[in-house]
C-alpha cells in the first residue's frame, strides 16, 4: 500500500485546508439541498402520513450518526498516519494484522476484502449517480428556456461531464484542491444569501402570507420533534446528504502532515458543511415555506407544491428574488442553479479522487489489477484508475438517464448500501484496532463506535425495509439496488479467489500471519 509505482511517487502538497476542502466537496450542501428537498418534502411513512414537519430534526439525527462515524475515522487516521491512499482499506488491514491475539490476525485479509468491496460499491457507483444528476439538472435548466433535450443528448451530456471531471482529476490533487476551494466558497456564499433572503421573507412577509399560511407556525416548530417515526424516516434521507467526510482519509499520501491534518479534516468538513451549512439552509427553507409557493399547474401550494416540483428550491429562489431583488427572481434562480452545477462538479470530483486512490492502494497490495496501481509520470496521479472510473461513471450515468427515476434511485441506493456497510465496518475496525494493540479508551474506542455501528445499521435497515414495504416503483428501485450490490459482491468474490490462486495468497493465512 505504498504511495509509489514505477519510480513515481505522489506529491505531498496538501495542508489542513486542502484536506478539508476536498472532503467538503463530496458533502456539497448546495447540490443536495436542490436535489433532495423535493424528496424530503414528499416523504411519507408507511401509513402515507407526511413526515416533512420533521425534516430539520431528521437532519440533526443523521448528523449525530455521521459524527459518531467521523470520530471513528478520525481516531483510525490518527493511529495510522502512514495509511497513504488506503483509507478504510488500510485501517482494516492494520487493525487485524497487528492484533495482539494471533487468532485474530488470520482474518485480516478477509476483512480487507469486505472493506474494499464496500468502499468500491460506494465510491465507484457514486460518481456515476452524480453524472446522471448532472444530466437531469442540465435538462431542467434547459426546460426553463423552453428547450427540450432528447434522451440521446442527455446521455451525451452525462458522458461529457464524466470526461471533464476525469480530466481535472488526472491533473493532480493540487488542481482538484483549487477547484474545490473555489466551488466551496461560491457554494457557501450563495447558500448564506439564499438563507438570509428566506428568513427575511418570513420576517418581512412581503407577499402578505396569512398567519396560518406558513408551513411551520413558529421557528421553534422547525426544531421540534413532531413524530419519532417522522424524524426517523427523514433521517434516512438526511444521512445520504452527509456522506463524504471520510474521503479526507484517502489523501494521506499527499498530506504534508497526515497525523495532524487528516483527523482534523474529517471532523472539520462535517462541522462546516453538515453542522453549519445544512442546518442553516434547511431551517431557512422551512421557515420561508408557505402557501404562496404554488405548483406549475396552480393546483397545489405549500409543502404539496414543493413535493410535486422537480426543483422546489429553484421555485423558492424565484419567489425570494421577486420579493427582494427587484423582481429578478428568475435571474436569482439561475445564479443558484449555477452554484448547484459547480457543487455537483465538486462532489463528483471528490468521489472520483477518493475512489481511485483506494483502488491504487489495493493494487499496491496485490488485491486489484496492477494497472490500477500505475501513476502518471507528470502528474503523479493514478491516471489509469481515473480512466477506468470515467468510463464506468459514464455508463452508470447513462443507465440512470435512460432508465428514469426507478433506475436512478436504484443505483443511488446501491451506492448507499456500500456507504453504510463501510461506515459500520469502520466502527467495528476502530474497536478492534485499539482493543487489540493498546491505547484503548472506553469512550472514544468503545461507546462511540458501538453507537455509530448501531446508528448505521438502523439507517440501513430503515431505508431498505421502508423501500420494500412501500411497494411500487420504490420497491423496484430497492430490489434493483440489492441486485447491483449482490452482483458486485459475486464479481468481487470471484476475483478474490482467482487472484489468490494465481498469486499464491492464502485467503485465511495459517498461524495468523
Categorize the per-residue pLDDT at 7 as very low, low, confident or very high, splitting at 50, 70 and 90: very low
Asked whether residue 260 carries a pLDDT value surpassing 80, the answer given is yes
Categorize the per-residue pLDDT at 6 as very low, low, confident or very high, splitting at 50, 70 and 90: very low
Give the cell for residue 322: 421577486
- Output the domain CATH number for residue 182: 1.20.1740.10
d(CA 214, CA 152): 42
Q: Mean pLDDT over residues 110-131, rounded?
A: 88
- Span 218-229, pLDDT tens digits: 999 999 999 988
- Span 314-368, pLDDT tens digits: 999 999 999 999 999 999 999 999 988 888 888 888 888 888 888 888 888 788 8
- Span 281-292, pLDDT tens digits: 999 999 999 999
Give the cell for residue 105: 490476525
d(CA 197, CA 288): 9
Distances (CA, A) of 383 to 21, 53, 65, 172: 22, 46, 34, 9
State the pLDDT at residue 2: 41
d(CA 286, CA 177): 33
- Span 402-460, pLDDT tens digits: 887 788 888 888 888 888 889 999 999 999 988 866 688 899 999 999 999 999 999 88
Asked whether residue 26 carries a pLDDT value surpassing 80, the answer given is no
DSSP string, 243-289: TTGGGGGGGGGGBTTHHHHHHHHHHHHHIIIIIIIIHHHHHHHHHH-
The parent domain of residue 244 ranges over 4-512
- Span 127-175, pLDDT tens digits: 998 899 899 889 888 988 889 999 999 999 999 999 999 998 888 765 6
Distances (CA, A) of 165 to 127, 346, 387, 395: 10, 9, 11, 14
Alpha-carbon dihedral sign for residues 205, 211, 215, 221: positive
CB 292 within 8 A of CB 303: no
As for how many domains the chain has, the answer is 1
Q: Mean pLDDT over residues 369-390, rounded?
A: 84
State the pLDDT at residue 351: 84
The owner of cell 428537498 is 37
Amino acid at each position: 500500500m505504498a504511495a509509489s509505482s514505477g519510480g513515481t511517487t505522489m506529491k505531498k502538497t496538501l495542508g489542513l485546508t486542502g484536506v478539508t476542502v476536498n472532503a467538503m466537496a463530496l458533502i456539497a450542501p448546495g447540490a443536495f439541498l436542490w436535489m433532495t428537498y423535493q424528496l424530503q418534502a414528499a416523504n411519507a411513512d408507511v401509513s402515507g402520513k407526511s413526515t416533512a414537519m420533521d425534516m430539520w430534526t431528521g437532519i440533526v439525527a443523521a448528523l449525530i450518526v455521521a459524527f459518531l462515524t467521523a470520530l471513528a475515522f478520525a481516531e483510525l487516521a490518527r493511529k495510522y498516519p502512514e495509511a497513504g491512499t488506503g483509507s478504510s482499506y488500510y485501517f482494516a488491514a492494520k487493525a487485524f494484522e497487528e492484533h495482539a491475539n494471533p487468532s485474530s490476525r488470520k482474518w485480516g485479509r478477509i476483512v480487507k476484502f469486505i472493506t474494499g468491496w464496500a468502499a468500491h460499491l460506494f465510491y465507484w457507483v457514486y460518481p456515476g449517480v452524480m453524472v446522471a444528476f448532472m444530466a437531469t439538472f442540465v435538462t431542467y435548466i434547459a426546460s426553463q428556456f423552453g428547450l427540450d433535450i432528447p434522451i440521446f443528448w442527455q446521455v451525451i451530456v452525462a458522458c461529457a461531464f464524466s470526461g471533464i471531471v476525469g480530466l481535472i482529476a488526472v491533473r493532480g490533487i493540487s488542481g482538484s484542491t483549487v477547484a474545490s476551494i473555489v466551488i466551496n466558497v461560491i457554494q457557501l456564499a450563495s447558500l448564506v444569501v439564499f438563507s438570509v433572503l428566506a428568513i427575511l421573507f418570513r420576517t418581512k412577509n412581503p407577499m402578505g402570507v396569512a398567519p396560518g399560511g406558513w408551513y411551520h407556525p413558529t421557528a421553534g416548530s422547525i426544531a421540534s420533534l413532531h413524530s419519532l417515526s417522522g424524524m426517523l424516516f427523514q433521517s434516512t434521507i438526511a444521512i445520504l446528504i452527509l456522506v463524504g467526510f471520510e474521503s479526507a482519509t484517502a489523501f494521506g499520501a499527499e498530506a504534508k502532515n497526515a497525523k495532524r491534518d487528516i483527523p482534523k479534516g474529517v471532523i472539520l468538513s462535517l462541522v462546516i458543511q453538515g453542522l453549519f451549512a445544512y442546518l442553516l439552509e434547511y431551517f431557512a427553507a422551512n421557515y420561508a415555506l408557505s402557501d404562496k409557493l404554488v405548483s406549475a399547474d396552480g393546483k397545489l401550494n405549500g409543502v404539496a407544491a414543493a413535493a410535486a416540483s422537480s426543483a422546489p428550491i429553484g421555485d423558492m429562489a424565484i419567489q425570494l428574488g421577486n420579493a427582494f431583488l427587484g423582481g429578478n427572481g428568475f435571474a436569482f434562480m439561475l445564479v443558484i442553479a449555477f452554484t448547484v452545477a459547480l457543487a455537483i462538479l465538486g462532489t463528483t470530483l471528490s468521489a472520483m479522487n477518493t475512489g481511485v486512490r483506494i483502488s491504487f492502494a489495493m493494487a499496491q497490495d496485490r488485491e486489484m489489477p496492477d494497472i490500477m496501481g500505475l501513476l502518471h509520470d507528470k502528474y503523479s496521479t493514478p491516471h489509469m484508475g481515473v480512466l477506468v472510473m470515467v468510463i464506468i461513471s459514464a455508463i452508470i450515468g447513462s443507465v440512470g438517464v435512460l432508465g428514469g427515476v426507478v433506475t436512478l434511485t436504484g443505483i443511488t441506493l446501491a451506492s448507499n448500501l456500500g456507504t453504510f456497510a463501510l461506515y459500520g465496518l469502520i466502527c467495528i475496525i476502530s474497536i478492534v484496532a485499539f482493543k487489540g494493540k493498546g491505547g484503548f479508551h472506553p469512550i472514544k474506542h468503545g461507546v462511540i463506535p458501538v453507537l455509530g455501528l448501531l446508528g448505521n445499521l438502523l439507517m440501513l435497515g430503515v431505508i431498505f425495509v421502508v423501500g420494500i414495504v412501500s411497494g411500487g416503483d420504490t420497491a423496484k428501485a430497492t430490489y434493483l439496488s440489492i441486485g447491483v450490490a449482490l452482483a458486485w459482491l459475486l464479481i468481487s468474490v470471484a476475483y478474490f479467489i482467482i487472484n489468490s490462486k494465481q498469486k499464491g495468497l492464502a485467503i485465511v493465512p495459517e498461524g495468523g500471519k
